[in-house]
Amino acid sequence: MESGKRGYEGMDRKTAKKRAKELVAKMTLEEKAAQLRYNAPAIERLGVPAYNWWNEGLHGVARAGVATMFPQAIGMAAAFDTELMGQVGDVIATEGRAKYNAYSAKKDRDIYKGLTFWSPNVNIFRDPRWGRGHETYGEDPYLTGELGKAFVEGLQGDGEYMKAAACAKHFAVHSGPEALRHKFNASVSKKDLWETYLPAFEKLVREAKVEAVMGAYNRTNGEPCCASDTLIRDILRGQWEFEGHFVSDCWAIRDFHTQHMVTDTAEESAAMAIRAGCDVNCGNTYLHLLKAYEQGMITEEDITRAAERLFTTRFLLGLFDQTEYDRIGYEKIECREHLRIADQATAESVVLLKNNGILPLKKENLRSIGVIGPNADSRAALVGNYHGTSSRYITVLEGIQDYVKDDVRVYYSEGCHLFKEKVESLSATADRLSEAAAVAEHSDVVVLCLGLDESLEGEEGDTGNSYASGDKKDLLLPASQSKLLETVVETGKPVILINMTGSAMDLRYAQEHCCAVLQAWYAGARGGRVIADLLFGEISPSGKLPVTFYRDTEELPAFEDYSMKGRTYRYFSGTPLYPFGYGLNYGDTVLEQVECCGKKTAAGETVLLAPGQKFEIAAAVSNRGDCAVEDVVQVYIRAMDSVHATPSPRLCGFIRVSVGAGKTVKVQVPVDKDSFTVVNDEGVRLVDGARFEVSAGFGQPDARTRELTGKEPVIFQIVLA
């Protein structure tokens, strides 16, 4: 069939389903069952080529050679920029098509070379110890849903055919611990389920029309997520009317009988999964489907239904037709425009946490600069996990060297190993510490690059962090780095800390002793160049934290506890080190004016919202500083009359805005359609009460944000008539 592709004609789901049904009807039972494996074999007599469903595109096409590599997902989340996320999704789809066109022309249909990307990860980053949290868009359901929706729409496109297929993962209630995930049961209340863990998935299914959903490894309230009647049948395909395909996490179905102990045999596990609606098995348990059929555990209809869903996706992608995407050439990979978008993503992702005025640096005022730390010249610290290959990497050290050229002397010291006691095996402990001190003493200013990389936080089985399977045991920097930080600070030279991690760390010492602190996440393959531009004021930092930076883990509930009580900015009752939504810039942005529903609204006023009237927020943003900046206007809301309201106001709207020095820009802030709702103990979303407190500003309306920024948000009330 592929050799005689049909001419370009477009494809809607109704037509794709019809063609899938016709094609599958020509297959034998054995052929249909084989198509449910992630590495589906060819059916030559029907012209069906082999297809591997497993591909990754979290922040660039991964594991299939060279591609544009963006900052890790958590970094892009810090941009609070839905337009950017749509562009990133489109770049990944474009480069994915370019690779697919080139590889399939050479009959290469290996893993990571298809058009079904198992991204994005829209799990909620509920606990900073989770090693895979940097794959997510943070701790807030609304932010996660908005960014995930934009990514999916960008990836899948709006053409006559689907450009690439996105996958919302991991469904559902999944965020560690990694070491227990194959046997763990996440117990969750109905309120937490519908208020926190499901909203992003629902938005991607209902609004973004995501083509695939991946189940999680764990059980949720006793049911394995990859065979959950509650999650898959009742919610996903029932309430949300999901029409795409469902895929298991890799070897998760095997866990049914080897870890969760809910079945006794592989045949029972395969039957349980396919009956619940799991169409693709990432793993090998579906090799036992035919035995399950022979034993009467499943029907041929179960297998047929799954095969038809999978071929519907392949037809939607135009894999048996000529499409507008067939002309996407290999020259699109790492092209100039894609690299520009990657640079923009890095620039918007970096969060300025502290600045005593030392930043931006002025090259003409420096004779020397010290660049110190295990992440200063680390490629691994640029890319996070689930990454592809860049044709060029630019570390922070290289970025600074390239920026200052020969005008400023750049000294460098690794300072310490990322986590070991020493760099050289035969040396004494702390063998790079004296060099670091010497570099600092000979420098006018020190840029200290600390943090982690995917060897210390990541997925179980993929990292070198054997003691916690990819999770962190606490929020502390490795002991070698803590000693380095103290040693450099004690030289008395001004220190700018760049923390390169995918999660919140205990930065109390840095906040107290360093002149500036930046959270750079995993900044992308060429991120060092952009970070240098940020340090020297070519652009202003503008990222906002998508997660809370706590002071330590003692303030948090047990990692295994999936209740939201005491977690994230919505339920945390303590004082964070750095709050969700917080981030500084080099300008001085203020809200000159706020309008609610077309009416100018000052702090303390009450706005009456008539029945049927749309909730709208507009704001005039002025920059009183002397350099152009970008900032993020954020709107938070809390139901004042409801016992079901979150303890702290929750994010319900945001928009990124660019403002020139001395300029004012007016923006319309998109707000959540469910702004006035709460979720009760039965998991029902409803309007409960008439009075609401609304805050508009550049962060949360909390005391710590006020303390760190010195700015007051505009807080007013809305009353529903």
Q: Which residues have a catalytic role annotated?
A: 249, 457
Query: What CA–CA distance (Å, rounded) separates 720 from 718?
Result: 7
Query: What CA–CA distance (Å, rounded) separates 369 from 400?
Result: 9
- 143 contacts: CB under 8 Å, gap ≥ 6: 77, 80, 137, 546, 651, 654
The two beta strands, 245-247 and 212-215, are parallel
Angle, nearest 10°, between helix axes 82-105 and 336-349?
A: 140
Q: Which residue has the tokens 């060279």?
A: 66
Number of helical (H) and strand (E) elements in the chain, helices listed first:
20, 25
Query: What CA–CA distance (Å, rounded) separates 70 from 91?
Result: 10
Tell me which residue of 656, 719, 22 sits closest to 307, measured CA to CA.
22
* Bond before 120 cis per omega within 30 degrees: yes
612 CB-contact burial (10 Å; exposed 0-12 / middle 13-18 / buried 19+): exposed
With b for 16 or more beta-carbon neighbours within 10 A and e for fewer, the 422-454 pattern comes to: bbeeeeeebbbbebbbebbeebebbbbbbbbbb
Task: Count CA atoms within 13 Å of residue 538 on its CB side.
Answer: 16
DSSP string, 282-319: SSSGGGGHHHHHHTTSS-HHHHHHHHHHHHHHHHHTTT
Query: What CA–CA distance (Å, rounded) separates 443 from 164?
Result: 50
Residue 233 DSSP class: I
Measured between alpha carbons, how far is residue 471 from residues 281, 454, 474, 559 in Å?
Answer: 26, 10, 9, 10
Query: What CA–CA distance (Å, rounded) separates 58 from 62?
Result: 8
Question: What is the edge-to-edge ordering of all strands in the sheet holding 617-623?
Answer: 599-600, 589-596, 617-623, 664-669
DSSP string, 326-384: GG--GGGTT-HHHHHHHHHHHHHH-EEEEESS-PSP-GGG-SEEEEESTTTT-SHHHH-
DSSP string, 315-330: HHTTTTB--GGGG--G
Tell me which residue of 219, 243, 129 sits closest to 170, measured CA to CA.
219
Q: Torsion angle of alpha carbons 691, 695, 700, 705, nearest 10°?
A: -120
C-alpha Rg value of the chain to the nearest Å: 26
Amino acid letter, 61: V
Amino acid letter, 618: A
Residue 231 DSSP class: I
Query: What CA–CA distance (Å, rounded) separates 229 from 220?
Result: 11
Residue 581 DSSP class: T
